[in-house]
Each structure stands twice: as structure tokens, then as C-alpha cells.
Amino acid sequence: MKVAVQCESALLQRSLELFLQGNLSSLKQCDLVIRDKKIMDSYHTLYIANGEESDIKKPFSRSQLYLTLENFYKKISGIQSIQAFEDEGAAETPTKDFRLLEERIEQLTQEYKNSIMHVVKAFYE
């Protein structure tokens, strides 16, 4: 997904650029545009503001931004399943596969169980 950012607020512009570092694009090559001012043009635009009419309400977190972008991109492209931010870390991506985490938790649980059983057996012997 290619995203362009056009904000009048320099702070908001820079924050969005940092959040979307790997997905930034020019206005001519983007899939969608994030703006803090309503502009009617041919681009698919997400509007950020404090009001009810906004697509993303301020203040927002990085994960809220990613979820909103992913949902908006799905809506405009008709794609049911996308990996929009696959380069982001597991903490950043809410739809990340947790298989490795589950395996690690299972391993630690088994080690803990074995340790307890060893202590119990040593106590009664």
C-alpha cells in the first residue's frame, strides 16, 4: 500500500511520516492520501481531525492508524485479505500470526511443569 501525506500541521505531517515510513509515496503514485483538511479531488482521501466527520480522530495511536488504513484500503480495493504492513514488528501489526509466540509459551509451560514435578519427586524421596 502506498500512502501520501498532505497536512497543514507540520507536527502531524512529521508524525505520520514517521509512522508510515515504509509505505510513503508521492501524490502521483499513491493508493490513498491522508490529509488534515477536507479537499475534494480524485484521490482516495482519509481525513484526520477532532470532529465526528473525520476518518481518523485525533489523538490516535500507531495501531489505530494502521487499522484504519488497512480497513480503508480493503474498502477501496475490494481485497479481502492484505498484508499492508508486513515489514512492521509484531507489536505494531495487530493481525500478525502468533504461532511462534504460542510455541514459546507452550515450551515455557512444559519446562515449568517439569521443574515442579522434579521438586515434588525430590521432596517425597
pLDDT in tens, 86-112: 444 444 545 466 788 888 888 888 888
Better pLDDT: 84 or 52: 52
**Average pLDDT of every residue of the chain:** 80
* CA dihedral sign of residues 44, 49, 55, 58: positive
Is the pTM of the predicted complex or chain greater than 0.85?
no
For the domain covering 3-77, report its CATH number: 3.40.50.2300
